[in-house]
Amino acid sequence: MEKNEKLINRILDELGDKAIPKLVDLLFDEDAKTAMLSADILKKLDSCREIMKEVDKKIDLAESNVGMFYAADLLGEMKCQNSINTLYKLLGIVKEEKEAMIVYGALLRLGEKEAEKYLLYEFEEDPYMKKSMLDIAIALEASDNPEIFKSILKKSKENEELVEVLQSMCNKNPSFFYLLPGELRGKFRE
């Protein structure tokens, strides 16, 4: 990771915003490592408009690749408010539930409560999504809804991986800490 951090800083120092068009192209590269490195750099730049423009272009061309979902996740993480319509259009071309979860997760980070309802249904009700429970919980992590927290807490008894999501939610919203049972509270303070 240190090697990537040095590369990111070097690109930012040498090129800054001039690197955005090429980085957006690399975000849609089929190589996951390249796309992830590009996303890490784009997070540090004001690149919302360029990412949205490329996603819109690919939607208009009916092109779908893994980069679209890296881009969707990035738009949500960067809180690109103008991307909500783009993300809803992207939902129109998803082929798999996992792709939909990524887009709904991005929408939830942008404050779209409908996305929260969809993800909660998938988390609590859809029997086919049991193997994706952690991914759905990660998408729900942006929620400030205590009922979402309680739902993840309840499922954490069956799936210990969910405890990390609870920790993150408590870090973002300290009032959730008081919803934890005593044994988890003790772990979170360590």
Tens-place pLDDT, residues 128-170: 777 889 999 999 999 999 999 999 999 998 888 999 999 999 9
Tens-place pLDDT, residues 30-57: 778 888 888 888 988 889 999 999 999 9
Any idea what DSSP says for residue 184? H
pLDDT > 60? residue 189: no
Mean predicted confidence (pLDDT) in 98-118: 94
Question: Which DSSP string corresponds to 86-139?
Answer: HHHHHHTT--SHHHHHHHHHHHHHTT-HHHHHHHHHHHHT-GGGGGGHHHHHHH
Cβ atoms of residues 56 and 86 within 8 Å = yes
The percent of residues above 90 in pLDDT, for the chain, comes to 55
pLDDT > 50? residue 190: no
For residue 115, what pLDDT is reported? 95
Q: Which residue has the tokens 């730049």?
A: 45
Question: Rounded to 5 degrees, what are φ and ψ at 45?
Answer: -120, 160
The percent of residues above 70 in pLDDT, for the chain, comes to 95
* SS3 at position 43: coil
- Please classify residue 12 by burial: count the beta carbons closer than 10 Å to its beta carbon, then call 0-12 exposed, 13-18 middle and 19+ buried: middle
For residue 72, what pLDDT is reported? 95
For residue 186, what pLDDT is reported? 76
Mean predicted confidence (pLDDT) in 181-185: 83
The more confident residue out of 190 and 61 is: 61
Domains of the chain, by residue range, sit at: 2-112
For residue 128, what pLDDT is reported? 77
pLDDT > 90? residue 104: yes
Q: Which residue has the tokens 């192209």?
A: 25
Least confident of 13-22, 50-59, 90-99, 128-137: 13-22
Cβ atoms of residues 38 and 23 within 8 Å = yes
Question: Rounded to 5 degrees, what are φ and ψ at 151?
Answer: -65, -45
Degrees, nearest 5: CA angle 50-17-23: 55
Residue of 142, 62, 64 whose CA lies nearest to 107: 142
* SS3 at position 78: coil
